[in-house]
Amino acid sequence: MVTENYILNIPETDKKRVVIVGGGFAGLKLALKLQRKRFQIVILDKNNYHLFQPLLYQVAMSGLEPSAISFPLRKVFQNTGIIYRMAELEFVLSKENELITDIGRIKYDFLVLATGAKTNFFDQEEIEKNTLQMKSAPDALYIRNRILENFEKAINKSKEEDVKSYLNVAIIGGGPTGVELAGAMAEMKMYVLPKDYPELDMRNMKIMLFEASPRLLSTMSGIASEKSQKYLENLGVEVFTNTPVLNYDGRTLKLPDDVNIEVKNVIWAAGITSARFDGIEGSAYGRNNRLTVNRFNKISGYYNIFALGDNSLMTETAFPNGHPQVAQVALQQANHLAYNLKQLIQSKPLKEFHYIDKGSMATVGRHLAVADLPFAKFKGYFAWLLWSVVHLFSIVGVKNKVFVLLNWSWKYITYDQSLRLLVKHKSKN
């Protein structure tokens, strides 16, 4: 029972207080499942919105605005009793059952860490400094601005080598994000950019996708991998497998066998890792900084601290290296933890978590997608239609669903994307 806190305007309560750090898929699902269930729910996030990350690449490629895939947390929590504070976690005082945040301290009875993942650069400092990443709405807007700005610069270049370097786009990482980015960029090159930049010869523009492993979409089936590569190559994307990127200095991409490519637009989509939390013992972390948890999502060495989704590392027979870091895992774990917390405060038996794999999908372009479902594998038009429906209905908010549908419909009919705005912040200095 919490009777003390240091953040203003969070009421004292006789209920068990659950503090959730992170408003992503897992945090949002857990909060809504626990509302009015003998708990006081406090959710902390550095942003005041929930972001639908699977469509973030479409923001980067001028297909959607960030507002179409973002939903204000305060609107989600209207009339729920859930308390939201915009805050960043700074330290976990586990012995005192207390958090230190950038806006003050707060006590908890149960703590849930669900902040998601961040980009993994594998300790390559120069690559981290010079490449573009895509884990947030500002990241996606920055990519959009950078690519459009470089096209504007290319128009003013007289040397063909300089023009090519500004037009070329290199995407590092052949997972779903890299594949979807490459496909969207290829469609822009075919249908949009020639009309916007008639002065430029689009034959000078290369879209390159680099993957260090032998195939694309390595977590999906061989059929999905083969078809996605074929789709991309038919769209004009140059696909390089078994090709790790060694370095990038902001101008030259260095590859094995002393191969160098001049390119100004390099997007890193090669991996993710979890953030570490100050105050959580180092022994609690496993691969990729994920917190090792038992089958109840309880962190090793702690009795009332849990981790969900990308932050958690839970092993099962079918997943000896942990569950995939995808939205479905986060949603299922959040739903399961909500049940177990209600059982816990009633001193009833807990249930072990078991992940039900509902399949995976990736889209490449118009009528081009792959889908691995438990009962069948699809490709082409039906997979593309299935991907579109699933993602549309997964977005939070009716208005957001309508906006996305309208944007997709307009693009489908006109072969155009109308959001190619260079919006930059003006420095006061």
Query: What is the arithmetic mean of pLDDT over 47-69?
Result: 93
Question: Which percentage of the chain shows pLDDT scores above 70?
Answer: 96
Q: Is the pLDDT of residue 367 over 90?
A: yes
Query: What are the residue boundaries of the structural domains of the chain, listed by start?
Result: 16-119+272-344, 125-270
CA distance 239 to 235: 11
Confidence at residue 158, expressed as pLDDT on a 0 to 100 scale: 87
To the question of domain 125-270 being in CATH 3.30.930.10, the answer is no
pLDDT tens-place string over residues 161-197: 999 999 999 999 999 999 999 999 999 999 999 999 9
Confidence at residue 7, expressed as pLDDT on a 0 to 100 scale: 67
Domains 16-119+272-344 and 125-270 share a fold: yes
Residue 31's CB is within 10 A of a number of other CB atoms, namely 27
Closest by CA position to 338, among listed 377, 296, 305: 296
To the question of domain 16-119+272-344 being in CATH 3.50.50.60, the answer is yes
Question: Which percentage of the chain shows pLDDT scores above 90?
Answer: 87
